[in-house]
Amino acid sequence: MKHTYAVIMAGGGGTRLWPISRKKHPKHILPLLGENTLFQSTLARLDGLVSAERILVVTTADQAEQLKAQAPHIPAGNFLLEPQPRGTASVVGLAAAVLAQRDPQAVMLVLPSDHFIRNRDLFHLVMRVAVQVACKGFLVTLGIKPTFPSTGYGYIQQGNSLEDKFDYPVYRVLRFTEKPDEAKARQMLAGGDHSWNSGMFVWRADRILAEISRLLPDLAAALEKIVAAWGAPEQEAVFGSAWLNLQTVTIDYGVMERAGNVAVLPAGGLEWSDVGSWDSLFDVLLADDGGNVVVNSEFIPLETHDTLVYSSKKKLIVTIGVDDLIVIDSGDALLVCHRDQAQQVRQAIEILKKKKKESYL
Amino acid sequence: MKHTYAVIMAGGGGTRLWPISRKKHPKHILPLLGENTLFQSTLARLDGLVSAERILVVTTADQAEQLKAQAPHIPAGNFLLEPQPRGTASVVGLAAAVLAQRDPQAVMLVLPSDHFIRNRDLFHLVMRVAVQVACKGFLVTLGIKPTFPSTGYGYIQQGNSLEDKFDYPVYRVLRFTEKPDEAKARQMLAGGDHSWNSGMFVWRADRILAEISRLLPDLAAALEKIVAAWGAPEQEAVFGSAWLNLQTVTIDYGVMERAGNVAVLPAGGLEWSDVGSWDSLFDVLLADDGGNVVVNSEFIPLETHDTLVYSSKKKLIVTIGVDDLIVIDSGDALLVCHRDQAQQVRQAIEILKKKKKESYL
């Protein structure tokens, strides 16, 4: 694994974890589940897989100081600051260009900073296999075996197994499908040949740069200029102006859906969540016999089942005669939400925006 | 109405309004519904009916200073402090004895300090009629026309109308029934001749003292000693020792259930609540089109119906996809309770007592 690097994408927001996650305190920066922030847990998950000096963090200027403070073991020069957010394709391209310059044989693990994975051993196994597959020239996506017909994830359809034998099943990718409606989701779940798109990828830096050259030539041209000026006095100016003119595009849409030689590892048992909404977090937390989960609170559940209670500060929460609830207290705001409707938090945020309630955003 | 006095019973607790109501801050002392406390609203409701110097407040030493501060227009000498709580029979007896000494023709309105009544005009009418009935020697109870088969109230069965004509229907009382089970409650509701026992009474001081002499001779003897020493240097000592030896008994059980010449005014339309629990308060608050009630909060209800949200400080509360909920935030504690189970709050308090969580009690 001597040419293996990790690229942590840490620029996002995450409005569906409101009221805990806010514009100025996005979820990966928060100690959402215990002492560590999701960002810190993402780094800790790499212990034994990638050393600190080989971890790049791509983020924005307004988050950089907080992230550096949370990860003092990562060299400051490994933090790449986007002048403006321009989508995951640009993030991946920038990191690939910087890494290819540093190590022409670099293999990149591309990892969101805000996912939850309980089974770290399996994560390591899957990543080691993914690196082996990537070394053969594949663009590797980490799939998640679906457990219900989610309409919140993209799906990946697998084709034949790769000819080479690996320590974990690997398939060629037939097709990416964006977030489906429920009928379509049921159909894909029933087929048994679809995974959720986790947003985690592994590839050689030179391979992804070649695909970017082919599929996103404007980005490739910008990256060429940026790399030429990298480390020189004009670096910031060149970076800033090149970035300003980029279109915002995701790596999935911009590259993966149209690239050749894409492989998927359909991982089951990772106990993974993208922590995209309260219900997805709820799904992976350990519940008591009544199906209840408590985070950070003193909890007295009476005739209560399948309910998550969460408070940002220690608080006593008593629930009586309720089922399937999500109760989130941030101090200044309180969310009480049916478990099946956690996606609707976005609607509440739209209302707050319209009412110009900045302090709650 | 020149011999009419009001006696406000202001010594109670009210644990079912937890987490807002606490041992040290019982509900009548709190600004539960706006700027005024329930105690202040009880006094304000007497404007035009009983003047301030004719209002007695019976309370305990630990609540007296707060109550005096909330009612500076009531003469300090009108606050009677129980050495220890000894039930409503003792409260009524004490007030009656003090009033009878001051005015042998005194008629007392006996009123809890923590009830909610929206229809003040009707309250005045009913009280004026009750005074007329009391002047004729009746012990008058104010009944409430039941609207559902509550198991949380005592019931009063009415018999014949009184022969005299009054401006409001008045009946002789046939029977008092303690809090019934649901089958019994349904039966009484269907019969149409039962009222809820509101705990509000009107009678001549001499009449209730005569009944106390007959039915509670120990209390009568204690009152005699206390009145003899009233205003003298030994008042406190006599009061304290006489009170210490009293049994705790309610006026309903100790007197009303066994007295003769008891009348009831079955009031409908008072929009009354004893504020005994969150659901009883919920019943009388004004709801929006979705059946939702908000107190003291900024509220965004999404797909939410028949839900009460309440916070002690201004707080943003968002609910999504919930019905029939009661959500109460006191700052340090949060209650989320199905509307039909609000009585169970007592069980939560028992658990807190067992866990010795004094700060929450």
B14 has pLDDT over 70: no
Q: How far apart are CA A235 and CA A218, in angstroms?
A: 19
Assigned token pair, B38:
């329930």
CA separation (Å) from B190 to A62, A315, A347, B148, B152?
Answer: 68, 45, 46, 10, 17
Mutate to test the interface with A, among B277, B299, B316, B335 (most CBs of A within 10 A): B316
| Contact criterion met (CB < 8 Å) for A300 and B332 | no
Angle, CA of A288, B322 and A297, to the nearest 5°: 40
Whole-prediction pTM? 0.86
Q: Could you tell me if the ipTM is greater than 0.95?
A: no
Confidence grade of residue A351 (pLDDT, cut at 50, 70, 90): very high
Q: How far away is chain A from the Cα of B296, in angstroms, using its nearest Cα?
A: 13
Q: Name every chain A residue with its beta carbon within 8 A of the beta carbon of B347.
A: 302, 320
Assigned token pair, A177:
């499908």
- The residues that bridge with A132 in the sheet, in sequence order, are none
Q: Chain-wide mean pLDDT for chain B? A: 94
Residues B32-43, mean pLDDT to the nearest whole number: 90
Radius of gyration from C-alpha coordinates of chain B: 21
Assigned token pair, B94:
């004490």
The better pLDDT of the pair B13, B288 is held by B288
Q: Name every chain A residue with its beta carbon within 8 A of the beta carbon of B303.
A: 341, 344
The DSSP code sequence of A22-89 is BTTB-GGGS-TTSSS-HHHHHHHTTTTTS-GGGEEEEEEHHHHHHHHHH-TTS-GGGEEEESS--HHH
Return the pLDDT at B349.
94
3-state secondary structure (DSSP) of residue A148: coil
B341 has pLDDT over 90: yes
Q: Of A98, A83, A91, which is closest to residue A243 (Cα–Cα)?
A: A83
H or E, element range at B195: strand B194-204
- The residues that bridge with A300 in the sheet, in sequence order, are A318
* CB-nearest partner of A336 from B327, B332, B333: B327
User: Is residue A55 a contact partner of residue A72, using CB atoms and an 8 Å limit?
Assistant: no
Give the chain A residue nearest B307 (alpha carbons). A336
CA separation (Å) from B319 to A329, A333, A352, B298, B340?
Answer: 12, 11, 13, 11, 18
Return the pLDDT at A14.
66
Mutate to test the interface with B, among A309, A336, A341, A344 (most CBs of B within 10 A): A336
| Contact criterion met (CB < 8 Å) for B315 and A321 | no
Q: How far apart are CA A132 and CA A96, in angstroms?
A: 18
Return the pLDDT at A152.
86
3-state secondary structure (DSSP) of residue A203: strand
Q: How far away is chain A from the Cα of B116, in angstroms, using its nearest Cα?
A: 25
Q: How far away is chain A from the Cα of B293, in angstroms, using its nearest Cα?
A: 15
- The residues that bridge with A323 in the sheet, in sequence order, are A305
Return the pLDDT at A183.
96
Residue B35: which residues within 8 A CB-CB, separation 6 or more? Answer: none
User: Is residue A57 a contact partner of residue A67, using CB atoms and an 8 Å limit?
Assistant: yes
Alpha-carbon torsion angle A231, A233, A239, A245, nearest 10: -150
Is domain B4-273 given the CATH code 3.90.550.10 in the classification?
yes
The total of other beta-carbon atoms located within 10 Å of residue B25's CB is 14
Q: How far apart are CA A135 and CA A133, in angstroms?
A: 5
Confidence grade of residue A138 (pLDDT, cut at 50, 70, 90): very high
Q: Of B105, B102, B117, which is closest to residue B43 (Cα–Cα)?
A: B117
Q: Name every chain B residue with its beta carbon within 8 A of the beta carbon of A322.
A: 325, 336-338
Confidence grade of residue A44 (pLDDT, cut at 50, 70, 90): very high
Interval B181-231: pLDDT, tens: 999 999 999 999 999 999 999 999 999 999 999 999 999 999 999 999 998
Chain A (299-338) residues lying within 8 Å, Cβ to Cβ, of chain B: 300, 302-303, 311, 315-322, 325, 327, 329, 332-338
Amino acid identity of residue B352, one-letter, is L
* CB-nearest partner of A318 from B300, B322, B348: B348
Confidence grade of residue A50 (pLDDT, cut at 50, 70, 90): very high
Q: Of A38, A74, A72, A88, which is closest to residue A251 (Cα–Cα)?
A: A88
The DSSP code sequence of B331-361 is SSEEEEEEGGGGGGHHHHHHHHHHTT-GGG-
**Within 13 Å and on the Cβ side, how many CA atoms surround A101?**
14
CA separation (Å) from B179 to A52, B143, B196, B205, B270?
Answer: 69, 14, 10, 28, 21
Interval A258-295: pLDDT, tens: 998 999 999 988 999 998 889 988 988 889 999 999 99
User: Is residue B326 a contact partner of residue B342, using CB atoms and an 8 Å limit?
Assistant: yes
Angle, CA of A88, A93 and A99, to the nearest 5°: 125
Q: How far away is chain B from the Cα of A18, in angstroms, using its nearest Cα?
A: 10
Chain B touched by A351 (CB under 8 Å):
yes
Radius of gyration from C-alpha coordinates of chain A: 21
Interval B245-297: pLDDT, tens: 899 999 999 999 999 999 999 998 899 999 888 998 898 888 999 999 999 88
CA separation (Å) from B1 to B5, B9, B59, B105, B167?
Answer: 9, 21, 25, 11, 16
Confidence grade of residue A35 (pLDDT, cut at 50, 70, 90): confident
Chain B touched by A350 (CB under 8 Å):
no
Residue B69: which residues within 8 A CB-CB, separation 6 or more? Answer: none
Q: Of A113, A90, A153, A115, which is closest to residue A11 (Cα–Cα)?
A: A113
Domain boundaries, chain A: 4-273, 278-360
Q: Name every chain B residue with its beta carbon within 8 A of the beta carbon of A333.
A: 315-318
User: Is residue A56 a contact partner of residue A10, using CB atoms and an 8 Å limit?
Assistant: no
Kindly give the residue spans of alpha helices, DSSP state H, lying in chain A: 38-44, 61-70, 87-102, 120-135, 182-191, 205-215, 217-229, 235-244, 251-254, 278-284, 345-354
Least confident of A2-6, A92-96, B122-126: A2-6
